[in-house]
Amino acid sequence: MARERVIREPKAIPAVLDPAEGTKKASAAKPARLPVTEGVDSVLVRPPLREDDDSVIKDLRPKRFAEYIGQSTVVDPLGIAVRAAKKRGEPLDHVLFHGPPGLGKTTLAHIIAREMEAHVTHTSGPALERPADVVGLLSNLKKGDVLFIDEIHRLSHAVEEYLYSAMEDFRVDFMTGSGAFAKTISLPLEKFTLVGSTTRAGMLTAPLRERFGLTYHLEFYTDDELTLVVKRSAGILGVKVEAEAAAEIARRSRGTPRIANRLLRRVRDYAEVGGDASGIGIEPDAAVNKDMAAEALRLEGVDELGLDRLDRTYLQTLAVNYQGGPAGVEALAASLNEEQQTLVDVVEPFLLKIGFIVRTPAGRRCTPPGMQHAGEVTHGKSAKGTQQARLV
């Protein structure tokens, strides 16, 4: 199964969509505000989603801090900041979330908006190609609104410069006309909250980083936390899972709730149709047990440690082709025919966390446990005798 990619090229969506109508908003309809410009990959969520929104694909993400499992070093102080801002009747300070993908950065941005009873506009760094794109969005924000910019490290320099005065002084200055007709217009903005999210905090410029009053790093989840996430999600999906099965899914989810929820859906599929063409699944009232979960995950190509095919291929390439390294990430990306950014953002963080690789100035190196796992992969032992661990 294809790994979720963090890199999305900007889609040419011609204007912000009005979710109520599903139609393009006439940008000329509000002459007092700058038109929302072309090329903005964003959705204006106004009014907020209904609490009871029961879409076909059930949204497993928590909507409130109270429902959020884990990340207590983020959620606890953030909850205090939100409650304090609300008590004062002020917008929340700007917030920056950084950490590997799938740990809940976007979810938290939406929770902030909901807890602040504010609207959220969701966009991304690559979608904001020109200054006019961001000025259009900013001018449409109301007091207390949240502007969420995903992959904020991918903002262009020109767009980023407009954010500085917007974040600090709630105004943007821009030039109109040229030559003798050039003049600067200062556009006041409503006090809003910018929530930025990035997998690469190191790629943010210091002036941008310094303008966030609240900065949080999201960590991988523990197995116990992920077990709770799986149980909660199973409840929402209406699938019964034994405690041991939930723990098995959690253990193989690489510390990442997004992966846990994806694997839970695959385990549910497997249980519903019995894992073969017979189509006979478990009894409607029966619970998924640990063996079923393990078999479903084996079929998904997820091994005992939660590593998937790309993780294993990465590890084996480094261990065998590069004799354990050091190898540059460009070389690894070329060998694997993968995007460098996918390796850095998606594959490497967990391999670093479990100590299978290290980053050195000379390049990536496989550690002794990483070499051992790569050897087991090569000899088909990493999933205890099952075939899936062999390189594909």
Residues in contact with ligand ADE by the rule CB under 6 A: 60-62, 67-70, 104, 107, 229, 232, 257, 261
CB of 214 to ligand ADE, least distance (A): 18
Using alpha carbons only, give the angle 253, 258, 264 rounded to the nearest 5 degrees: 65
Distance between CA 204 and CA 152 in Å, rounded? 8
Sign of CA dihedral 245, 250, 253, 254: negative
| Pick 58 or 379: Cβ nearer ligand ADE | 58
The structure tokens listed for 356 are: 């299978």
Distance (Å, whole) CA 129 – CA 213? 25
Q: Which is nearer to ligand ADE, 227 or 261 (CB)?
A: 261
Whether a cis peptide bond, with omega within 30° of 0, leads into 207 is no
Assign 359 to helix, strand or coil: strand
Dihedral sign computed on CA atoms, order 250, 259, 340, 99:
negative
Give the CA angle between residues 300, 301, 307 to the nearest 5°: 120
Catalytic (active-site) positions = 105-106, 150, 199, 258
Q: How far apart are CA 6 and CA 60, in angstroms?
A: 19
In the bound state with ligand ADE, the residue whose beta carbon lies nearer, of 35 and 104, is 104
Task: Output 55 or 184, the one with its CB closest to ligand ADE.
Answer: 55
CB of 70 to ligand ADE, least distance (A): 5
Rounded to a whole number of angstroms, the minimum distance from the CB of residue 229 to ligand ADE is: 5
